[in-house]
Amino acid sequence: MFVGPGLGAAIVAALLGVRGWMPGYIIAAVLFLLTGYFVYFFRDPQRTPPSDPRAIVAPADGHILLVESLPDGRTQIDTFLSVFDVHVNRAPIGGTVLSSEYRPGKFFAAMKPEAGKQNERQDIALETPLGVVRFAQIAGILARRVVCRVGSGDELNIGDRIGLIRFGSRAEVIVPPGVTPTVTVGQRVRAGETIIARADQ
């Protein structure tokens, strides 16, 4: 969606440069660089999930932004994705999708606390052997398009691709009681591979 038009426009600008319109070369160079970034941004590397049945993995690449105990005994773990991180999101654990709901909202910077509550987001509830695990794709100031490819009734394996968020964002996981976080704020994680929490038994 982004790569094709960008590459096409770059080629047209370059051809205009060849025909004597000197700004065409500059525009072509900028567009080629931008297209290269889009190719880099939409990369989708293979990941190998852990075999631990008690593990919950990161749904996104990035840095842990929040690890917080909730009043009902659950724990919330948020990951911040910069514009240089892989933005393909993955299932934190295997199970059955109970619900997948889009919620429009604002576009605060993803690192701000209000972003988790007020920004555009996709909320997914997953029935798992450890209980109901909730996770969300949350837009940021630049990410204005949440793409989710799963719906109610879908069966997911740990690490399965579920969608992506375009250009800088936040991912939220809420684990049930009896599941202990294994990460700390500031730690770097990889979607589908890094264990962020583990069931106590």
Residues labelled as active-site residues: 169
**What does the alpha-carbon distance between residue 86 and residue 120 come to, in Å, rounded to a whole number?**
19
Q: Where is 39: in which H helix or E strand?
A: helix 23-41
The answer to whether 196 touches 181, Cβ cutoff 8 Å, is yes
Sheet containing 161-165: which strands, arranged edge to edge?
Answer: 88-90, 161-165, 146-148
The answer to whether 134 touches 125, Cβ cutoff 8 Å, is yes
Torsion of CA 58, 60, 64, 70, to 10 degrees: -60
**What does the alpha-carbon distance between residue 18 and residue 184 come to, in Å, rounded to a whole number?**
54
**What does the alpha-carbon distance between residue 139 and residue 146 come to, in Å, rounded to a whole number?**
6
